[in-house]
Amino acid sequence: MPKSLDEINERIRDGSVYVVTADEMPYIVGELGAEDAAKEVDVVTTGTFGAMCSSGAWMSFGHADPPIKMSKVWLNDVEAYAGVAAVDAFIGATQLSETRGLDYGGAHVIEDLVARREVYVKAVGFATDCYPRRSIETALTVEDLNEAIMLNPRNGYQRYNAATNSTDKALYTYMGTLLPRFGNATYSGAGVLSPLCNDPDCETIGVGTKIFLCGAEGHIVGNGTQHDPANRFGTLMVRGDLKAMSTDFLRAAILHKYGTSLYVGIGVPIPVLNEGIARKTAIRDADILTNVLDYGVARRERPQLQTVSYDELKSGMIDLSGKEVRTSSMSSFFKAKEIAVELADRIRTGSFAVALPTTRLPLDAVQKPMKQRSKAPLVREVMLPSITVHDSISVQEAAKIIIGKQVNHLPVVSDARKLIGIVTAYDISKAVALNKGDSLKGIMTRRVVTAAPDEPIDLAARRLERYNISALPVVDQAHAVIGIITSEDLSKLLACR
């Protein structure tokens, strides 16, 4: 027989409520069955703790004397958005410091505020009759703010694609450092403890649901941005009082060579109103599947290499086409469990009542790609014909070709025109100066960074920058040279965009 929310809250008040964490529920349902588990268990608590880049805080500073209409605001040299009224601003977790770069950002400002540390504030504006002041500098703590409201546009992903790297160089991403040649795979999310995995149809999770947010009471204010429940990538938009939060459940992070993020702790109670909810909260890590994507392909649609379960990811090793690849989590299951336990304790002691949403989250939302009015040029549209040579020719012969054809790069190919190396004008000059007249075999670079004809030129430009090289041979699927693209050509083209 279904239970009502009033019955559950009455049990919370009289101390008889039965609360379990989400990772315990599969065993209870396995032993009792979903029907009897629904009679026994009143609330299932979930938890997640991970890097949630789409996070930030609204702050209201109060009026200075004489007053200022802030048009730009910096906190510890991190700019906050001030395009609302006069003394309100929003600081985003990934906004970087203008003086410290990747080592400090909005996430650190938020942590400093929650930790009651003093923050340096600088603001400028234009003078008006009612706001005559043009600038102000001061220092404050979170208690000096009239309001400090965390409002995170996208948190609590239902699940997240795992990431790996097929290239021969490390990649620095929001999924952490991805080692070359499938050296590792990273993933995010709490799996069995994930709030939306335990309520995928959003029966109890929606607008108005009371939650645990970084140690404080918070609320879900709607679906998060990029909410895609049709593909099991649901998200949450959450809000809470920054002044009531704790750094035990909120920490700034630096993602190496990528930027800053904010680790956010969220716990959502799920009232077990009926057998169906009990059955859904019995989900296991083995039931939660996600895709492993190749981040070595820097496109919107990355190659999907394999589908794996969170049980496999958490084991520390997955198999990718016969290769054992180590896995590591961007989230903390330990902290997620701590949050679920803390929330359960608050419910048991009567300090946290549960609430149903006033409005359910949409279940049919699907994410669309950005509408682009102009298509990015492809490499094949801007590449130039390439003069190629064989590795058997001498350095002197290569020098004559470079001078005669006025080129700086000579891709070296086999008899089948497949790329096997490259030499540059610098390589040739150095060999001539050292009186090396042998064939190109001894001076050519064998591990050549290349471009594909159908990739956008932005990817080629990034590759040139990243590897600090000046040209990319363009090769087809058979690795035959079909052209070349140089940094000089790309610079001219990108300057015109």
Distance of alpha carbon 237 from alpha carbon 174, whole angstroms: 20
Catalytic residues: 130
Q: What is the pTM of this model?
A: 0.89
pLDDT at 437: 66
Which of these, 427, 406, 415, 407, lies nearest to 473 by C-alpha position? 407
Q: Give how far the C-alpha of residue 333 lies from the chain's centroid of Cα atoms, to the nearest Å.
A: 18
Token pair in block for residue 96: 């970087």
Residue 304 region, left (φ>0) first, then alpha (ψ -120 to 50), else beta?
beta
Rounded to a whole number of angstroms, the distance between the first and last alpha carbons of the chain is: 65
Residue 318 main-chain phi, psi, to 5 deg: -125, 160
pLDDT in tens, 443-455: 999 999 999 999 9
Given the structure tokens 């007053």, which residue do they identify? 67
Asked if 485 contacts 379 with a C-beta cutoff of 8 angstroms, the reply is: yes
Q: What is the pLDDT of residue 495?
A: 59
At 494 the pLDDT is 63
- Predicted local distance difference test score (pLDDT) of residue 2: 85
- pLDDT at residue number 182: 97
What structural domains and CATH numbers belong to the chain?
Answer: 5-52+151-360 (no CATH), 62-145 (no CATH), 379-495 (3.10.580.10)
Task: Show the tokens assigned to 16.
Answer: 């008889």
Are 183 and 165 in contact by the 8 Å Cβ rule? The answer is yes
Low-confidence ranges of the chain (pLDDT < 70): 1, 437, 492-497
pLDDT of residue 475: 95
| Bridge partners, 186 (sequence order) | 163, 328
Q: Give the ranges where 70-201 is alpha helix by DSSP (H).
A: 106-114, 195-198
181 contacts: CB under 8 Å, gap ≥ 6:
165, 166, 167, 168
189: left (phi over 0), alpha (psi -120 to 50) or beta: left
The three-class DSSP label of residue 199 is coil
